Structure 1
Amino acid sequence: MALKGPTEEEMRTILMPLMLSGARMLDKHCPKCGSPLFEKDGRVFCPICGHRKKQRGAEMKGVEERLMEKLNELANSLPDDIDELEKHLRAMEKIIELLERYRKLEGGE
């Protein structure tokens, strides 16, 4: 996988304000994304990976919320018909599996 440095938007919205805040851009690059590493208050970090991780987390939270809504919707509308009930329960089981996968992904990359 090729390293992907910062986009123009990330340079404008993340890197430039960081430099203006007194952070120092180093001559080293992030091994994960290829963006320049920064140092501020004795801490060396990649602002781009941190930003992207937060974005992915927010996206995953949105997916998780939609799955939970669907799970609640199904739980609150269980049919009396046995065949339909089995379909509902299978769908709920799949949603629970997906939620568990998302939570594992969120916990560690």
Structure 2
Amino acid sequence: MKGPTEEEIRKVIMPLMLSGAKMLDRHCPKCGSPLFEKNGKVFCPVCEYRAKNRKEKVQEFEEILLKKLNELASNLPDDPEELEKRLSVMERIIDLIEKYRRLEGST
């Protein structure tokens, strides 16, 4: 993982410095960003920001998948072949949702 981008410096690091957080002389082993201390907590603001963004994107994607799943489930066809295809697609959507939930839990 690379160090902070210009956007991360502007959106994350600068506001922290202005809020009175203390920039430490140590760096994050994951991304190379300076570590900060605030209220006795030492943390990497860039990794926290990236994790929050990842979580939001996963939640947005999950909402899209759930909406599609509901659409597919709301009007199942009578034809057995079409029903089998639809159920197969629904199963893949459920598998994707579960996969993203596991990924979200591991970050």
**TM-score computed with the length of structure 2 as normaliser:** 0.97
Residue 9 of structure 1: how far off its partner (Å): 1.1
1:60-71 aligned within 5 A:
60-71=58-69
* Per-residue deviation, residues 25-50 of structure 1 (Å, max 9, x unmatched): 11111111111100111110000000
Q: Which amino acid aligns with 1:45?
A: F
Q: Which amino acid aligns with 1:51?
A: Y
SS at match of 1:6: coil
Match of 1:26 among 24, 33, 36: 24
What is the distance in 2 between the residues matched to 1:94 and 1:7?
36
What is the percent sequence identity of the aligned residues?
A: 64
* Per-residue deviation, residues 5-64 of structure 1 (Å, max 9, x unmatched): 111111111111101111011111111111110011111000000000000001001110
Partner of 1:92: 90
SS at match of 1:78: coil
What is the distance in 1 between the residues matched to 2:11 and 2:103?
27
Partner of 1:105: 103
Partner of 1:76: 74
**TM-score computed with the length of structure 1 as normaliser:** 0.95
Task: Give the length in aligned residue pairs.
Answer: 107
Partner of 1:38: 36
The reply on whether 1:13 has 2:11 as its aligned counterpart is yes
Calculate the aligned-residue CA RMSD, in Å: 0.8
What is the distance in 1 between the residues matched to 2:83 and 2:7?
49
| Structure 1: 4+ residue segments shifted above 6 A | none
